[in-house]
Every structure is written in C-alpha cells, then in structure tokens.
A and B are shown apart, each in its own frame.
Chain A
Amino acid sequence: MQKEEQKKKFKVTVITPEQKVFESIADFISIPAKSGSMGILPGHLPVIAQLKIGILKVVNDGQQTYIGVCRGHFEYFGMLARVLTERAIITEYALRQKTIEELEKKHDITQEITEETRKVIQAIASLKNLRG
C-alpha cells in the first residue's frame, strides 16, 4: 500500500549553480513558467519549460513548501522534476510577494552590475592597450 502511494509521487530538485537548494518527493508542484503558472502531477507528459521570477509550490503529503525562483529552466521527465535556476530562496506562504520583490530587485541590480562591469572592463582594457 505504502509502495503504491510512493509510486504516485515524483522527485523534485531545485538546483542553482552554487548549490542544491531543495530536494524532496512530491505529490504535486506548481511552477512559474514563462507563459503562466503550470501544475505538474505524477504521470504528466514530459515538459521542458522556461521559468520567470516567481514562486514554486511543492506539495508533499499535504505539506506545502514555497520556493522563490529567479528565471531558469524546468524539466519533468520520468518521475523526476528538475528546476535549474539562477537563485532560489525557500520562503513561506505569507512572504511570497516579498520574496518575489526581493528576487526582482536583486535581478535588476545584478543586470545593472554586469552591464556596468562590462563597460568598466572594456574601458580599462582599451586604456591598457593605449598604454601598451
């Protein structure tokens, strides 16, 4: 009986380049796909989806976990759901909006930083070339 119940579940992993943030089995997950929220139940068709900034909801035995994710990709294939994202924060139901705002804010800052760094690096490189 217990084995049959386990068969209806699937494994979820949330991975960022820096670390594995979350790993568990689940009955249901809801992902923030680019074109809207998408629900995944065991036995769903294989899916590859692009993610936007949003909240990933994982339900296991009635217990809900909320994880803020910042862009990335999602793949569901053969009872394994893999979320590959830039940043992930485990949060609570009440703090979902705050988490999204934080992720959006950080995302904007990093975009700005990379743009600024690129300009500074290019300027330094051209100055060095001139000196050389």
Chain B
Amino acid sequence: MEKPEKIQKRIKSISDTQKITRAMKMIASSKIKKAQSRIMEARDFIYGIENIISDIACFSGFISNPLLKSPGNDKNILIVGITSDKGLCGDYNSNIIRHIENAVNKLIGIGKKVKLIIIGKRGKNYFKYIGYDLDMVYENLSDYPKFLDAREISKHIISRYVEGNADRVLLCYTEFINPAENTPVIMQLLPISNYSKTVFRDVGKLINSIIDIPSDSPHGGTENTVSGLIEGKVCRIFPEFVYDPSLSEILDAILPEYIDSTVYGALLDSTASETGARITAMRSASDNAAEIIKELINMYHKARQQEITLEIAEVVSGAGIFSS
C-alpha cells in the first residue's frame, strides 16, 4: 500500500483538478443562457428574411438569380464545417468531425471532388493532420460569433459559388436542441432551393435526396426560379406586393442576406451546443473526481491505520523485549 503522505498528495492534486472542472462548469452554465437567448433573437431575424423570400416566391416565382441556379455537372462540392476552437467539451468535436468526414468520404465515393472550409481550430488541426484539401480556415469564432463574422464567411462561400469553383455548398454544424442534447446535422446552403431549410442528421439521406437528382428534374441541371423555394407550401392569399426599388434588386440583396443569416444561425447553434457539451463534460468530470477523492480518502485512512498499527506493534514488541 502507498504511504499516506503520497495518497494525500494525490487527493490534493485531484481536488485541484475538481476545482478547475467545477469552475469551468459554472462558466459554461452562465454562458449557456446568453447563447440560448442569442439563438432565439437570431431566429426572429432569420424567420423574417425567410418570410420575405417566401412571399416574393409566392407572388413572383418567375424571377431567377445566380444563387438559385442549379449546377449542370455538380462535380465540385464545397463543405463548410463548424467545429470549436477549444477542447474539454466531451464528444462535441469528435461527433461533428466524424460527420464531416463521413460526408466527404461518401461524396468522394460517388465521384465528387470535395473541398473543405473549416471553422474552428479543432477541426483545422484534425483535417490538416489527415491531409484533406482545406480551402479556407476561420479561427477564434466559436466563443462569441458575430453577424459580421458570418457575413465574412458567407461572402467567401458566395464568391466561390458564383465564380464556379463550387457547384454545390453544404453546411455541416451541430444543431442545439437543449443544453444536454445536440446533434450534428448537414444541410444544403447553395444553390438555395426548397431543400435549403431541411437539415439532415444522416449524410446518406442528404446525398440521396439532393446530390443524386436526375438532370431532367426541376432541381437538377436547370435554372431554378424563386417559386422552387415554396414547393408544397400554401401561399398567403393577398394582392401582389409593391416592391421598392424593384423585385430583382430586392432579390439580389436578400438572397446573400439569407446565406449570411443561415451561417450566423449555424454558428450560434454550434456555440450553444459546444457550451452545453462542456457543461455535461465538466459535470461528469467533477463527479468522477469526487468519486476518486472518496476512494483515495478511504485508502488514506487505511494506510494511516496500517502505519499506526505497525508503530504500536513495534512499540509493544520493543517493550516485550525490554521486560523479558
């Protein structure tokens, strides 16, 4: 058995670690409320933008735009993956990285050329180590993403798409459900279609429903119009809108704004998921530390008792020698 002094040192070291994990849990708990309220506020904005687009789509479906144009060959796929900058958040990073990797492998498997835009140091380090082709890396956004950051990223994505370097853009992020639950999802960011609002938990389903569309279908190889965005939805019955300055100018301005707000929403979801995952991870780390400390205290007492018993035995045997 170890000496009591050594066990005491171990107890101190573990209780120090427990203090850190507790503090991290408390910090994450204080951050989660803010992150949740930011998601709610952003959802109002995103909903407003979507509403305007669907109203335009209902009444003026014939208008087209480069961001609605479906690719002809659909060869180059750009995947935007959102990971975190910091660790100590349980399986958050490994889950999203596995999801991105799964999507990349499946797309390569069906003969597509895949490029990656990675947000977050964790993802960057992993994909660089594996040797993937990284188109762009963004760091230090996961703590407090701003709308301006999202605009910066979406500007780059849109330029890549419009220049023809990417025929399709997919967005991979972690959807926030509640502080204890989050799930990695994938969605189509560009071209904007009625699929754009659908998030897929299973990469295979996304590939089946979006990538493998026959070219004679309205979503493949042809130019989509805004009416494609509201397929299967009921329009509000009302006279036509008055547009200022003009419908095409509004559409030119609002579609990039839609991409900005979708990326912003994904960044906020990922931040909240990371914080939630950190709370769970730090809570279980603190609990584990408490259990280990309990065991070590028992060990310490046993070792101390053993030492005392040994000392008493030595004293008694010494006294016996003297008396005899």
Contact = CB atoms under 8 A, between A and B. Distances in A.
B114 to A, nearest CB: 17
Contacts of B143: none
Say what secondary structure dominates the interface of chain B. Answer: helix
B217 to A, nearest CB: 30
B45 A48 contact: no
B245 A114 contact: no
B161 to A, nearest CB: 16
Contacts of B152: 114, 117-118, 121
A110 B155 CA distance: 14
B44 A15 contact: yes
Nearest to A129: B134
B52 A73 contact: yes
A50 B236 contact: no
B147 interface: yes
Contacts of A86: 147
B148 A50 contact: no
Interface in A42-75: 45-50, 73, 75
Name the residue among B134, B238, B244, B257 with the largest chain A CB count within 10 angstroms: B244
Contact of A132 (B41, B128, B138, B254): B128
A128 B139 CA distance: 13
A46 B244 CA distance: 11
Given A50-B250, A114-B148, A20 B41 contact: yes
A125 B136 contact: yes
B181 to A, nearest CB: 25
Interface string A1-21: 000000000000101111110
Contacts of B51: 75, 82
A17 B261 contact: yes
B49 A84 contact: yes
Nearest to A110: B148
A113 interface: yes
Interface in B207-261: 236, 238-245, 249-250, 253-254, 257, 261
Given A18-B147, A84-B49, A86-B147, A73 B257 contact: yes
A17 B147 contact: yes
B41 A46 contact: no
A19 B39 CA distance: 10
Given A20-B44, A48-B243, A73 B253 contact: yes
Contacts of A17: 41-42, 45, 147, 261, 264
A47 B137 contact: no
A124 to B, nearest CB: 8
Contact of A48 (B52, B128, B155, B264): B52
Nearest to B135: A125
Nearest to A34: B245
Nearest 9 A/B pairs, CB to CB:
A49-B244, A17-B147, A84-B48, A46-B241, A17-B45, A33-B244, A47-B242, A35-B245, A19-B41
